[in-house]
Amino acid sequence: MVKEGIEDFQRKKQDIEINNRKVKVHQAARELGFEFFKRTQTSVLINELNLVTRQLVERSYKLLNILEFNSARKRMSVIVRDEEGKLLLLCKGADSVMFERLSNNGRQYEEKTREHCNEYADAGLRTLILACATAVEDKLQQGVPECIDKLARAGIKLWVLTGDKMETAINIGYACSLLRQGMKQIIITLESPEIKALEKNGEKSELAMASKDSVLRQITEGKAQVAKITSEAFALIIDGKSLAYALEDDVKKLFLELAVGCASVICCRSSPKQKALVTRLVKDGTTKTTLAIGDGANDVGMLQEADIGIGISGVEGMQAVMSSDIAIAQFRFLEHLLLVHGHWCYRRISTMICYFFYKNITFGITIFLYEAYTSFSGQPAYNDWFLSFYNVLFTSMPVIALGVFDQDVSARFCLKFPMLYQEGVQNLLFSWHRVTGWMLNGLGSAVIIFFFCAKALSPEAFNEEGKTADFQIFGATIKFVFEATSFSTPKTSESKLTPARKIIQNALDFRHAAAKVKGFCSKGSTKAVLYLHDFRSSFFAYSLVFFITLCGSFSGMKMTICNSTKQWKSYVDE
């Protein structure tokens, strides 16, 4: 009991001493203009003297954590966040312990402080060293994890190339679901003790060789691991120093193979040059298209190197934006950019090109067929104005409208089924099969149009007045008919495309959508999915050609068209 009492007393004495010391520190601080006046449960309020304006400013610091004094550590730490979001780690402890903890570039006051401490110690004062480390919390933008998840589901492989430390990078990886709980991590680093020892005392060449061997060994081990366990996903994490060796010509192929076999790759502590080199490695080593997205000046090399560079305009300035192909404001807009606009754009461009070929082939073949009837003298079937204006005026609008407005599925669906993006990746809409199909369609249309019109219009009279069809009427009729046909054909031909929808069967969401499909009336895109392989849709397209041709040739013979044509012709002909 006495022992307890003595311990108790000693503790109380320590407390008083500590309290006394605390009080004294507070008093000193107040003299200098920093007054601690309030503490709530989570924050601390301090009146600070702004040295510029000489005004007292109230600032609050949010207390995040307190690491109490502990005799093993010999120090006490507190972590606070100031009003700007900056994190501060403040440490106080014995001088021996604190001096050890100083970094190399924080030592400018070390000598002075030691002197002062020694003076104080000589004066019988107890000394304490107070040091601070700062951290900046770089929050992930809103919507980034969801965006990354969607892109991963779209079949896009994501790599992170960052300048941060490995721990930070791994943390971010978990935060944005690039790394998941079940994933095995393959870490390639040069932090092993042998390398560290060589760093301290060995020569440069020996260090280089050993590092390279180590990296090569780790890569080979990683590859073996990936090859052995096929059921699990792997994540590759490599730091900047190892990356320098991994990107050398003899090693980079192996490195690429390992990286491509992993589900996610994180390169930390990478310099801008290394980011560019990794991008080039992937671009040249695989046949894939690379897209780089970044927001800082250190991403410029990477953005330029990749096939598509996307800059995020924001806090870090405009260098990334200026060197990019596309600039967006937030990272999460990338999912919309790729899955909606990318998807639509691919489809629009490929359809537009096919349509353009179709209409020009139809046009050319009607003229070619006509040549057989002009003893191959080179007389075109149409008036010169028709020939010139054909592409510019008469058939430009449908093609443009198709290229601007066509949406196979709405934006909502594009985002809901990210796998639809694979249609573009696998180049399903511009296969030879499809292009030739459109061209043959053009050939067929031209033959039908030409022969129907020729047979229908000649040599007998075509109207009640007994007039016979001359060259101009013939040309005008064919023109009218085949413009009408070319307007209608793309939409009907479209239905017989895309074996792309095969992809959907793999997406789990499709089953949900299928159940919900009944609720959908006007946006029948999922319904369209189910009938795309029917032969009836291609037959429908051809029947429409016949239909239009017949209607066209029929009305082409009627007086209204002919009269208006002949009147127009009389003014146009020179």
Partner 1 sequence: MEEGRSTASAIEADSVSLSQRRSNFIYQFTQQSLPACKPVLSPVWVVSVFFVVGVIFIPVGIGCLHASRSVVEIAYRYDVECIPAPFRGNKLAYIANDFIPKNCTKHLKVPRSMKAPIYVYYQLDNYYQNHRRYVKSRSDRQLLHGLEYPDIGLCTPEDVINGLPVVPCGLVAWSMFNDTFSFFRGVHELNVNRKNIAWKSDRDHKFGKHVFPFNFQNGSLIGGARLDPNIPLSDQEDLIVWMRTSALPSFRKLYGRIEEDLDADDTISVKLLNNYNTYSFSGSKKIVLSTSSWLGGHNNFLGIAYLSIGSSFIFVAFLFLMLHIQNPRSYVDTSNISWNWKHISD
- Residue list for the binding site for ATP: 69, 92, 126, 162-164, 269, 275, 298-299
Please state, in angstroms and rounded to a whole number, the distance separating the CA atoms of residues 111 and 126: 18
Of residues 432 and 535, the one with the C-beta less far from partner 1 = 535
Residue closer to partner 1 (CB basis): 210 or 312 = 312
Question: Per-residue contact track with partner 1, 469 to 508, x per CB under 8 A?
Answer: xxx-xxx---------------x---x---x--x--x---
Task: Select from 454, 481, 484, 497 the one that contacts partner 1 (CB under 8 A).
Answer: 454
Of 64-72, 287-295, 387-395, 461-469, the window that binds partner 1 (rule: CB under 8 A) is: 461-469
* Among 309, 307, 406, residue whose Cα is nearest residue 349: 406
Please tell me the distance from the alpha carbon of residue 245 to that of residue 428, in angstroms, as a whole number: 39
Residue in the structure block whose two tokens are 């107890």: 126
Residue 266: count other Cβ atoms within 10 Å of its Cβ: 26
| Signed CA dihedral, 364, 370, 371, 374: sign only | negative
Q: Which of 458, 488, 555, 561 binds partner 1 (CB under 8 A)?
A: 458
Give the residue with the Cβ less far from partner 1, 96 or 375.
375
Compare residues 130 and 530 and give the one whose CB is closer to partner 1.
Answer: 530
Nearer to partner 1, 405 or 432 (CB): 405
Q: For tokens 């023109």, what's the residue? A: 479
Identify the CA nearest to 282 among candidates 232, 332, 231, 246: 246
Residue of 408, 387, 400 whose CA lies nearest to 356: 400
Q: Does 384 bind partner 1 (CB under 8 A)?
A: no
β-bridge partners, 236? 186, 265
Q: Which residues are annotated as a binding site for Mg(2+)?
A: 295, 299
Region for residue 28 given its phi and psi (left: phi exceeds 0; alpha: psi -120 to 50; beta: otherwise): alpha
Quick note: the x/- pattern for partner 1 over 306-335, rule CB under 8 A, is --------------------------x---
Closer CB to partner 1, residue 246 or residue 481? Answer: 481
Contact 485, 395 (CB under 8 A): no
Q: Measure the CA–CA gap between 451 and 444, rounded to whole angstroms.
A: 11
- Beta partners for 45? 38, 60
* DSSP state for residue 106 in the 8-state scheme: G
Nearest approach in angstroms of CB 367 to partner 1 is 12
Near partner 1 in 35-74, by CB under 8 A: none
Q: Nearest approach, Cβ of 165 to partner 1 (angstroms)?
A: 32
Regarding 411 and contact with partner 1 (CB under 8 A), the answer is yes
Which segments are annotated as binding site?
A: 69, 92, 126, 162-164, 269, 275, 295, 298-299
Among 82, 101, 83, which Cα is nearest to 92's? 101
How many other C-beta atoms can be found within 10 angstroms of the C-beta atom of residue 209?
A: 13
Name the minimum Å distance from CB 432 to partner 1.
Answer: 20
461 makes contact with partner 1 (CB under 8 A): yes
Contact between 253 and partner 1 (CB under 8 A)?
Answer: no
Interface with partner 1, residue 101, by CB under 8 A: no
**Three-state SS letters, 401-424:** HHHHHCCCCCHHHHHHCHHHHHHH
Structure tokens at 408: 């196979």
Q: Restricting to residues 501-540, which ones interact with partner 1 according to CB under 8 A? A: 502, 505, 514-515, 517-518, 522-525, 527-528, 530-531, 533-534, 536-537, 539-540
Q: How far is the CB of 553 from partner 1 (least distance, A)?
A: 7
Strand order in the sheet with 234-239: 158-161, 264-268, 234-239, 184-188
Query: Which segment (219-227, 354-362, 425-433, 562-570) binds partner 1 by CB under 8 A?
Result: 562-570
Q: Is 542 in the site for partner 1 (CB under 8 A)?
A: no
Footprint on residues 112-171 left by partner 1 (CB under 8 A): 143
Of 136, 464, 508, 560, which one interacts with partner 1 (CB under 8 A)?
464
Query: Which residue, 88 or 532, has its beta carbon nearer to partner 1?
Result: 532
